[in-house]
Structure 1
Amino acid sequence: MTTQDAREPSELARRLSGAGLLTAEIHYWLPDTPSLLQLFVWQTLDEAPGFPRLNRFLDHWRREIEATLHSIRIAHSALVRPTEVRVVDGIIRLH
Structure 2
Amino acid sequence: MARSGLALQLNHFRLTTAQILYHMPDHPGLLQTYVWQDYDLAPKFPTLRKFLDFWTRNLDGKLHSVQVASCELLQAPQWRNAQALLTVH
TM range (shorter): 0.7 to 0.9
Where 1:55 maps in the other structure, the secondary structure is helix
Letter in 1 for 2:60: E
Match of 2:73 in 1: 79
Match runs of 1:42-57 below 5 Å? 42-57=36-51
Letter in 2 for 1:45: Y
1:32 paired residue among 16, 26, 37: 26
Structure 2 unmatched ranges of 5 or more: 78-89
Separation of aligned partners in 1, 2:38 and 2:4: 13
| TM-score normalized with structure 2 length | 0.79
Where 2:30 maps in the other structure, the secondary structure is strand
Letter in 2 for 1:42: W
Structure 1 unmatched ranges of 5 or more: 1-6, 86-95
CA deviation string 1:42-64 (max 9, x = no partner): 11111101101101100110111
Separation of aligned partners in 1, 2:4 and 2:17: 19
Letter in 2 for 1:49: P
Larger radius of gyration: 2
Superposed CA RMSD:
1.3
Letter in 1 for 2:37: Q
CA deviation string 1:9-42 (max 9, x = no partner): 3211110111111010000002211111111011
Match of 1:90 in 2: none
| TM-score normalized with structure 1 length | 0.75
Q: Kindly, what percent of the aligned residue pairs are identical? A: 44
